[in-house]
Amino acid sequence: MSAKDLGISVLGADARVQIRSDSDIVVARQKGRAMATASSFAPAEATLIATAISELARNIVLYAKTGEVILKIVDNGNRHGIKIIAADEGPGIADLDRAMQLGYSTSGSLGLGLPGVKRLMDEFEIVSAPGKGTRVTVLKWRT
């Protein structure tokens, strides 16, 4: 589903952050916070957004090594939102249901990342196939 199908238009330029190492995680989440703050998101919302970006970008570093985070300010006619796309061409996820389970982790970490990000955001979509990479798209509306 593209932004156009939803009647959402993109405001301003996208930000793209290449993710290659743990310092790029910080760059991506700080960029997301700055964009959210510039679009008048409340501080608590901006922190939620930065935290979600941090989780998604870390999954790229951990599981796919490299990828990118794309950030867009969007508008659906009556409100603003921020859209975050975390995309990689890594190994992909074979069992998506399981990956979304609380506490499930293939790396021995907490396994709270994906279900937690879903809880933090208003919309959540994940597309992944083994060998084809992973693309997580999330959206948070400004309240």
Which parts of this chain interact with ligand ADP (CB under 6 A)? 59-60, 63-64, 88, 90-93, 99, 104-107, 109-111, 113-115, 134
Sorted by sequence, the CB contacts under 8 Å of residue 21 that are 6+ apart come out as: 61
Q: Does 116 bind another protein (CB under 8 A)?
A: yes
The nearer residue to ligand ADP, 51 or 91, going by C-beta atoms, is 91
Q: Is 60 exposed, middle or buried (0-12, 13-18, 19+ CB in 10 A)?
A: buried
Q: Does 16 bind another protein (CB under 8 A)?
A: no
Task: Report the interface residues with its own copies, using CB under 8 A.
Answer: 108-109, 115, 118-120
Q: Rounded to the nearest whole angstrom, what is the least distance from the CB of residue 74 to ligand ADP in the complex? A: 23
Q: Which does 26 bind (CB under 5 to 8 A by kind): another protein, ligand ADP, its own copies, none?
A: another protein
**CB contact set of 103 (below 8 Å; sequence gap of 6+):** 110, 111, 112
Output the smallest distance, CB 54 to ligand ADP, in A: 11
| C-alpha R_g of the chain | 14
Give the separation between CA 116 and CA 126, rounded to whole angstroms: 13
* Tokens 């990956």 belong to residue: 99
Helical segments of 60-112, H only: 96-99
Which of the choices ligand ADP, another protein, its own copies, none does residue 29 contact, using the CB cut-off of 5 to 8 A by kind?
another protein
Q: Does 3 bind another protein (CB under 8 A)?
A: no
What the block records as the tokens of 12 is 């301003």
Which of these segments, 9-17, 22-30, 72-80, 134-142, binds another protein (CB under 8 A)?
A: 22-30
